[in-house]
Amino acid sequence: MLKQSLSFKLSQKLSPQQIQLMKLIQLPTQEFEQRVKSELEENPALDSGNEKSEDEYDEFSNQDDQDYDNDSETIEADINVDDYLSDDDIPEYRTQANNYSADDEDRNIPYAAGKSFTQTLNEQLDTLRLTEEQEAIAEFLVGSIDESGYIRRSLEDITDDLAFTSNIFTEVAVVEKVLKIVQTLDPAGVGARDLRECLLIQLSRKRKNDSTELAIKLIRDSFDAFSKKHYAKIVSKYNLEEDELRDAIDEIAHLNPKPGGSISGGNLRAVEQVIPDFNIRIKDGVLELTLNGRNAPELHVSKDYSNMLKGYKEAKEKSKSQKDAVMFIKQKLDGAKWFIEAIKQRQETLFVTMSSIMNYQEEYFLTGDERNLRPMILKDIADEIGMDVSTVSRVANSKYVDTPYGTKLIKEFFSESMTNTDGEEVSTREIKKILETVIGDEIKRKPLTDQRLAEILKEKGYPIARRTVAKYREQLDIPVARLRKEI
């Protein structure tokens, strides 16, 4: 049965402009610069501060665009040209001062061209005497080596690919023989199929002595026990003295588990350049916050567009094409106005949010001691500045701040809290720092278990469970006690 009903519903929706503003706030400095560059290319009514115009507009019309009707309306009904022009001889942007941090460094950071890992290996192949088939197989194997220096695929799969892609019909034994040749290339260990083979290749190139011979034996015959640091079993199995095992371990510790990483240039991947969005300095014992100058570009309306509007205004007879052109200009100027205002809102939001974070963590920024970090969640800052939690999250998630103690990711200053035995709220970052210190000071011959670590933290006034200690240890990328053991 069909029926109709009338109901009232209140809903809140973000306008396209608000969505774009949120995206602007989320962008770090480098991506923001690219966004500004893209907008300058797409909107001809927008000029950068380097292109000084003689005229500037003050206000834009807030009227909505209307369809042009040559019979009943004129362009003056849709747009007031005077609102887009200024009678001032000096544009407003020329009287504004940029109080953001100086940005004197070259914006175009050069990178060394370098050679790729594959190119370096192929150049070494050219120095070897190989048959035509061996050379083709060797080049295919080199192309199969990943950035760490390993071949992760089985020789059977590579043999099949040689047949299908390169029309080279051969056998696995032949491919393995060529692989041994590839494994003689530098850096030592390249072309290995797993860590064990990688270490053995490197050890085989070292000068032979008792330590290297024992190291080869351990990796070849007892790799599983060695990797799990079952030293007692190894000592018993090979009837060794602790000094002998220690020397062998020292030989292995100096090997490179990722030989591909030793080649400068790697895969020619661009080095990620971290540009701080904020700068915090201590001046006369007081914290001073500045916003990176790259976040405050000087944008204004194009001089050419101003002249076009003046020409239209002064013309006695206005053709349809002129009116259509002015309507196009109005749309571009409206877009330019919104973008300029959005940038100003972005600057204000970034500065207000970071200023609140800095004041909240004042003790840390004055001392640099992570144990002075206060428990802080997004809601704490959002409530203080009167903004939504999502806005604070956008500011903190991908922005960096340059401090006297190094460049830090802002989201690292946020942490949960717990209550110590004195009833004080302390940051989990503080507990992790203490945990890291305790593990760093432990006796490596008898590393502390998670249970013992929990007991030590409890003695220091931090009553946390063993499983919580294990969680914090994993977050700090610290292995379990057995894998931290040394002899």
pLDDT, average across residues 65-73: 37
> Looking at the predicted structure, is the pLDDT value of residue 68 above 60?
no
Among 16-25, 242-251, 321-330, the range with the most confident prediction by mean pLDDT is 242-251
What is the predicted pLDDT for the residue at 357? 93
CA distance 377 to 364: 16
Residues 6+ apart with CB under 8 A from 48: 40, 297, 298, 299
pLDDT band with cut points at 50, 70 and 90 for residue 76? very low
pLDDT tens-digit map of 169-209: 889 899 999 999 999 998 888 989 999 999 999 998 888 88
At 291, give phi and psi (nearest 5°).
Answer: -95, 135
Q: What is the DSSP code string of 259-306?
A: GGGGSTTTTTPPPPPP--SEEEEEETTEEEEEEBGGG---EEE-HHHH
pTM: 0.54
> ∠ CA 170-176-179 to the nearest 5 degrees?
115
DSSP 186: S
pLDDT tens-digit map of 79-89: 555 555 554 44
Domains, the chain, ordered by start: 117-262 (no CATH), 278-292+345-484 (1.10.10.60)
pLDDT tens-digit map of 404-433: 988 888 888 887 777 777 666 677 777 888
